[in-house]
Amino acid sequence: MSELNFSSDVEAAKAFMGKYETLNQEIGKVIIGQKDVVKSVLISVFSRGHCLLVGVPGLAKTLLVNTISDALGLDFSRIQFTPDLMPSDIIGSEILDENRQFKFIKGPLFANIVLADEINRTPPKTQSALLEAMQERAITASGQTYQLSKPFFVLATQNPIEQEGTYPLPEAQLDRFMFNIWVDYPSFEEELEVVKATTSDQTVTVNKVLSAEEIVYFQGLVRRIPIADNVLEFAVRLTGKTRPDSDMAPALVKEFLSWGAGPRASQYLAIGAKCHALLSGKFSPDIEDVKAVAVSVLRHRIVRNYKAEAEGYSVERIIEELTTA
């Protein structure tokens, strides 16, 4: 614990910022570009949240998660979701040992970082087993409850273009994810750098930057930093604006949305703003920090109606207009 004996939260915040800069350097050895995606994933990690990474194949989503787990020095497991995957395949199951006693064999969910690859390819029953662990951070099997180790977070990937044979996550289950992060194509220069790096035989070593103990400490620090009432009110009001039946809803929402975000969105806007502020060198978040995380928090929590889809009014555009109104 010697490394964590800070004299004040201000000193701890400065150390956190330093660790974040080092994390970026280590991750940048492997991941070229995608700075906003990396920042969003790290914000969710230090906010005790889970992430859904959405992007077409070949954009290094799996490599990104692997690299982050190496830099964070945590236990990592990857689950490839398929239509025949059963809940016991991810939770674990009981077997008879040599003494004819039942023994529980832990599944891949018993790790600090779980990569749920192509989560929409598995049936709802298996999706639910994963989402229960995300919410409770515990697993129940054969009447016995097993606590998952801390920190624990799930990074799930989803392919938006190949829908045949998929089981899209219902909105109520999507709500368990703190962020929905869109992974876009790299720029020409970034793609050129990727091709240069991956078509040679050079090997890159990612150094461990943080321990599990330090991550848990900094997660607590994020929650301890103060947030002004006006910033909190802005976050809650922004969530309220997304609800078509709310008095706060502007004409835009009443016209284009059929469903708005729940209270969990307000919580994640506040905690995400706190973490974003710390990573930006501030000791308290302002309204700009709320706006910075708004799209990732709200994107998967609001549902457009047919008129919005017909007129090409995207979720992102609606959120942007709500934050500037």
Residue 97 has pLDDT above 70, yes or no: yes
CB atoms within 10 A of CB 96: 9
The per-residue pLDDT for 45 is 92
Tens digit of each residue's pLDDT (9 = 90 or more) over 283-306: 999 999 999 999 999 999 999 999
More confident residue, 161 or 155: 155
Greater confidence (22 vs 140) lies with 22
Instruction: Collect contacts of 104-109 with beta carbons under 8 A, ≥24 apart.
Output: 104/141, 104/142, 104/144, 104/146, 106/146, 108/77, 108/78, 108/79, 109/77, 109/79, 109/133, 109/139, 109/148
Q: pTM to 2 decimals? A: 0.89
pLDDT of residue 121 exceeding 50: yes
pLDDT at 193: 83
Write the CB contacts of 69 (distance below 8 Å, at least 6 apart in sequence). 76, 112, 113
What does the pLDDT look like over 158-167, one tens digit per residue?
877 666 667 7
76 forms bridges with which residues in the sheet?
113
Query: Between 322 and 103, where is the model more confident?
Result: 322
Beta partners for residue 106, in sequence order: 92
pLDDT at 288: 95
Residue in this structure with the two tokens 């799996």, named with its chain if needed: 62
Residue 177 is classified by DSSP as -
Tell me what pLDDT residue 126 has: 85
**Residue pLDDT, tens place only, 248-261:** 989 999 999 998 99
Res 75: pLDDT: 87
Query: 300-312 b/e with 16+ CB inside 10 Å = b?
Result: bbbebeeebeeee
Does the pLDDT value for residue 98 go beyond 80?
Answer: no
The amino acid sitting at 6 is F
| C-beta of residue 279 within 8 angstroms of C-beta of residue 285 | no
Domain locations in the chain as residue ranges: 2-212, 225-324
pLDDT (0 to 100) of residue 31: 84
Please tell me the number of Cα atoms within 13 Å of 56 on its side-chain side.
4
Tell me which amino acid residue 235 is: A
pLDDT of res. 33: 81
Phi, psi dihedral angles at 114 (to 5 degrees): -115, 120
pLDDT for 135: 84
CATH number of 225-324: 1.10.8.80
Q: Which residues pair with 304 in a beta bridge?
A: 257
- Answer for the pair 131, 83: CB distance below 8 angstroms, yes or no: no
Task: Flag the least confident range among 1-5, 11-15, 168-172.
Answer: 1-5
> What tens digit of pLDDT does each residue of 235-283 get?
999 999 999 998 898 999 999 999 899 999 999 999 999 999 999 989 9
DSSP 269-301: HHHHHHHHHHHTT-SS--HHHHHHHHHHHHTTT
**Quick check: 8 pLDDT over 80?**
yes
pLDDT tens track for 177-223: 999 998 888 888 888 888 887 787 777 788 889 888 899 999 999 99
Residue range 78-97: mean pLDDT, rounded: 85
Task: Check residue 49 and give its pLDDT.
Answer: 92
Q: How far apart are CA 217 and CA 140, in angstroms?
A: 27
Please give the CATH topology (third level) of the domain spanning 2-212.
Rossmann fold (3.40.50)
Rounded alpha-carbon distances, angstroms, from residue 132 to 90, 112, 113, 138: 12, 16, 16, 8
Examine domains 2-212 and 225-324 and report if their fold is the same. Answer: no
